[in-house]
């Protein structure tokens, strides 16, 4: 039993890295079996279908994301320091958790947007949760008087995610060495506009 669980974990960790590169559609049981040097029938014993494998991979990635991004940020003081920690940890998360193709959620987003079904539903739920974490953090900053009370927390979450998405685009597709600096400058402008004038 414990050995079975450990194997299952190792498979999912590898599946996350592979999906970041070839997409969730490319993440077939056959491809993963080849990659892990396991038998296809062995993998079928763990995941009965490609869809189950895709969903478990997304859910596992979300657990890891929570561990390396959200929970450590929640240990920071509320408001701006926490928002900054979420942002900086998001930037590092593909490296922090072996995703050679960059953030699996960004990669999956444009892949799944036209594919109705349980995998898409799972991704939508996870992405809404992530935007919700940002919005809640903004609300904390408003309660402390750091951020303007007239700010819409969901608007700020939307714009912050845009900064993250264009970082993915410019660093991964364009391989632009200025991407990190531009992304941080955009974040500072977002924060400067959101702060209460003191």
Note the residues at the interface with a copy of itself (CB under 8 A): 20-23, 100-102, 106-107, 109-114, 120, 123-124, 127-128, 154-155, 158-159, 161-163, 165-170, 172-174, 178-179, 182-183, 185-186, 189, 193
- In this complex, which beta carbon is closest to a copy of itself, that of residue 92 or of residue 158? 158
The least CB distance from residue 51 to a copy of itself, in Å, is 17
The DSSP bridge partners found for residue 195 are 147
- In this complex, which beta carbon is closest to a copy of itself, that of residue 78 or of residue 95? 95
The least CB distance from residue 34 to a copy of itself, in Å, is 18
Helix axes 50-65, 2-26, angle to 10 degrees: 100
Closest to 126 (Cα-Cα) out of 82, 74, 61, 71: 61
Q: How far apart, in whole angstroms, are the C-alpha atoms of residue 159 and residue 153? A: 10
**69 C-beta neighbours (distance < 10 Å), count:** 23
The least CB distance from residue 165 to a copy of itself, in Å, is 4
Q: Are the C-beta atoms of 99 and 84 separated by less than 8 Å?
A: no
- In this complex, which beta carbon is closest to a copy of itself, that of residue 136 or of residue 154? 154
């Amino acid at each position: 039993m414990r050995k079975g669980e450990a194997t299952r974990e190792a498979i999912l960790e590898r599946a996350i890295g592979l999906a970041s590169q070839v997409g969730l559609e490319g993440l077939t049981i056959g491809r993963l079996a080849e990659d892990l040097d396991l038998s296809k029938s062995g993998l079928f014993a763990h995941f009965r279908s490609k869809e189950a494998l895709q969903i478990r991979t997304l859910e596992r990635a979300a657990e890891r994301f929570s561990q390396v991004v959200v929970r450590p940020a929640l240990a920071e003081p509320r408001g701006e320091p926490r928002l900054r920690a979420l942002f900086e940890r998001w930037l590092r998360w593909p490296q922090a958790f072996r995703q050679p193709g960059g953030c699996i959620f960004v990669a999956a987003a444009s892949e799944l947007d036209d594919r109705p079904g349980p995998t898409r539903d799972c991704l939508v739920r996870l992405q809404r949760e992530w935007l919700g974490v940002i919005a809640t953090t903004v609300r904390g900053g408003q309660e402390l008087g750091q951020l303007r009370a007239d700010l819409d927390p969901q608007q700020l979450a939307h714009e912050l995610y845009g900064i993250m998405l264009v970082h993915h685009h410019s660093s991964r597709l364009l391989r632009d060495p200025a991407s990190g600096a531009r992304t941080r400058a955009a974040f500072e402008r977002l924060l400067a506009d959101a702060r209460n004038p003191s």
